[in-house]
Structure 1
């Protein structure tokens, strides 16, 4: 034995303690054994102390980071409450990350949505309580809060960076599935409409008030003009309207007790409330509201621009028309996918394969600059064109015609387009499609939308 460890050549063999004997040899052996175990114990204690010190250091570092983050979180949330109560976006701007998101919106769409939410926030926040915090690997913190407001409580979630700026603001949530308390319609019915600048304007009655309503499938739910339908309460969350010419937000709502549209009846659902006076002024008539995709999604709706007629077909659970008459049969189908509430089809623009959204709230087709540059040889410039939508005032855009367009195996060449990198295309859909098709496409022949089957059908002209 050398200092209590096996001598050379003894590796792997059991260590045998010497027999205790009377005399000095036994005492020496006992001392050696004691020293050996003391050395082992001391080494283990040293390692344990070092490990404890390291653990404490790491814990203290985490506490320090968490403490710094808590200060940043408190500062950011206090600023948010002050901003919403003062209705002044400028108060929050120093605490916004360069690429912040509002809901799923980014870029210009997020900035416009936040501005509208702040300037029109319909309630006063009296108290904010942090419900839950989760620190992420990059040092950011997800914070779930409860807002005690003048009209009740609201839950929201935010992501705050390590330097105390908002990278995500959960101030917008997608609208829930449309589910009126009562719905009725015959198997087939029609609604006549007027055409104004390529936009569909039909008569309907809401809560006993009859008047003009636009049909805009680019909007998810119904929106009523607050001039005729004063809001009765604040929406549980801001309602987002995505349109080809930008983003709009409603923060108040109206309870629709009864909607009569042709022979269809819907009751007991919420509609957004928004001032549409600028729309009424432009069209020189009272516009009571806008009917969105939700209100037609349980039917197949055929649009015949030549006859100014909407035809509604009731559907079974599989999305098949209940009417089996020969005149109620389409001739060609194009499958689509729903992105948010927008039907999107695949096609060819020039030599480029692209996804194209379809929106009845557009008076003309829209293409973004990137795709326009890619098909420059097929784009024939026609100068500037003034365009309007159901939401905004007229605006001027570069316009032209595209000579080669293939959709569903059919040629739609020479259709007019405007060029615009609008926030809706770039942000709301994460660039999943570069163009929208409106009246210029829809008016080529009778066309119908079946949201249950996710099919667009083309019909013969009678």
Structure 2
């Protein structure tokens, strides 16, 4: 079984394209944030952030995964669902595959901060047992990008807090989400195939790579060509670090220059050998990848402004 999980999730296109479009519209119209400023307490489990809640009375935790484009997806391995309709197949970037379903109605979804949603239509579900087996046994699904579209969010792993700020003209001028913060860098990112995956340029010594921000990316992940990997090992920028709790190798990547603005180290991240299916899905032609997740996000507070394609890196 694959122990390394990184949870960019994708739908394999089938003959249900119209159903996919209906699903996306329904989710955006119903399971979405409202209000000006909303906070959630986070639970961090094995490097992944979770929001506690319940579906139809079944309590558990939703992974807050920016790599998941939809607003909500339910783990039907935990939550009994009686009106599922097969909807194609999906996969996550670390390789696990599953059959996808849609549900005519989900009666009740509650989140830990008191938000309450009822009679949600055309909500997706799948068997996410690999999240239960490898991360937490009470994972009841995902919360992703479409839930907070139109909001900037601040991610604070030290305080275990996630805060959303609705985009307004006043906020664009005031930037109240930066009040009292020390800004270390403002990273301009690009978007390719998918609107939820921020991409930036990253460099170690003379080795260039593409950096992807993802809260569902485990500790962080590297993919290098053999030639560049050997070069970085020889120059002592890339080193073995030890093992994680699943006996998977961890590595150190030193002196990483991010968007030509600041330099940091990544201590204890995974290395993957090949991810062509994942790269094709998100529009990546570069050979070398660095997925910035827990090891970066626990070191700095970050503010993600999708509307203006900026990530603010803040000092703790």
- Distance of 1:401 and 1:366 partners within structure 2: 11
The equivalent of 2:42 in structure 1 is 193
State yes or no: 1:452 paired with 2:302. no
Which residue in 1 is equivalent to 2:238? 380
Per the alignment, residue 271 of structure 1 pairs with 123
Q: Which has the larger radius of gyration?
A: 1
Aligned to 1:50: none
Q: 2:188 aligns with which of 322, 335, 340?
A: 335
The SS at the match of 2:29 is coil
CA deviation digits over 1:386-408, x for unaligned, max 9? 47xxxxxx5734x3212220114
Q: Of 211, 223, 228, which residue of structure 2 is paired with 1:356? A: 211
Alignment deviations for residues 279-320 of structure 1 (CA, whole Å, 9 cap, x no partner): 334445422111122222322111111111111111127983
Secondary structure of 1:381's aligned partner = strand
Consecutive unaligned residues of structure 1, counting only runs of 5 or more, are 1-111, 122-146, 148-153, 157-171, 388-393
Given candidates 251, 274, 280, the residue that maps to 1:400 is 251
* Structure 2 counterpart SS, 1:345: strand
**CA pair 375-283 structure 1, distance change in 2 beyond 3 A:** closer
Contact 1:185/1:263 (8 A) holds in 2: no
Cα displacement (A) at 1:194: 1.4
Q: Number of residue pairs matched? A: 290
Structure 2, unmatched stretches of 5+, are: 1-9
Task: Tell me the SS of whatever aligns to 1:338.
Answer: coil
CA contact (8 A) 1:219 1:242 kept: no
> Which residue of structure 1 aligns with residue 85 of structure 2?
234
2:75 matched residue in structure 1 = 225
Are the equivalent residues in 1 in contact too, given 2:11–2:91 (CA < 8 A)?
Answer: no
In the alignment, what sits opposite 1:428?
Answer: 281
Q: Please say if residues 223 and 290 of structure 2, whose CA atoms lie closer than 8 Å, have aligned partners that are also in contact.
A: yes
SS at match of 1:334: strand
| CA–CA distance in structure 1, aligned partners of residues 274 and 148 of structure 2 | 26
TM-superposed CA distance for 1:344, in Å, is 0.9
Q: Is the 8 A contact 2:63 2:141 kept in 1?
A: yes
Aligned to 1:295: 147
Is the CA contact 1:330–1:457 (under 8 Å) kept in the aligned structure 2?
no
Deviation at 1:238, TM superposition (A): 2.4
- Contact 2:31/2:147, CA 8 A, preserved across alignment: no
CA 1:358–1:414: 2 relative to 1, 3 Å: closer
Any idea what the Cα deviations from partners look like across 1:66-96, whole Å, max 9, x if unmatched?
xxxxxxxxxxxxxxxxxxxxxxxxxxxxxxx
- Cα deviation for residue 435 of structure 1 reads 2.4
Higher helix share: 1
Decide whether aligned partners of structure 1 residues 310 and 419 sit closer, same or farther in structure 2, where only a CA change above 3 A counts: same
| Alignment-derived partner of residue 172 in structure 2 | 320
Structure 2: how far apart are the matches of 1:442 and 1:311? Answer: 15
Tell me what 1:180 maps to: 29
- The RMSD of aligned alpha carbons is 3.6
8 Å Cα contact 2:11/2:88 also seen in 1: no
- Whether the 8 Å CA contact 1:365–1:435 is kept in 2: the answer is yes
Mapped to 2, the partners of 1:395 and 1:231 lie a distance apart of: 38
- In 1, are the aligned partners of 2:254 and 2:266 still within 8 Å (CA)? yes
1:325 and 1:429 mapped to 2: Cα distance? 29
1:348–1:406 contact (8 Å) kept in structure 2: yes
The answer to whether the 8 A contact 1:233-1:253 is kept is yes
When residues 252 and 231 of structure 1 are mapped into structure 2, their CA distance, relative to the original with a 3 A threshold, is farther
Contact 1:201/1:215 (8 A) holds in 2? yes
Asked if the contact 1:356–1:436 (Cα under 8 Å) also holds between the matched residues in 2, the reply is yes
CA distance in 2, matches of 1:183, 1:265: 11
Alignment TM-score, normalising by the size of structure 1:
0.54
Distance 2:109 2:240 in 1: 42
TM-score, structure 2 as length reference: 0.75
Aligned CA distance change for structure 1 residues 113 and 155 (closer, same or farther; 3 Å): closer
Q: How far is 1:231 from its partner?
A: 5.5
Contact 1:315–1:321 under 8 Å retained in 2: no
By how many angstroms is 1:228 displaced? 0.6
Which of these residues, 308, 317, 339, is aligned with residue 160 of structure 2?
308
For residues 256 and 319 of structure 1, the distance between their equivalents in structure 2, rounded to whole angstroms, comes to: 34
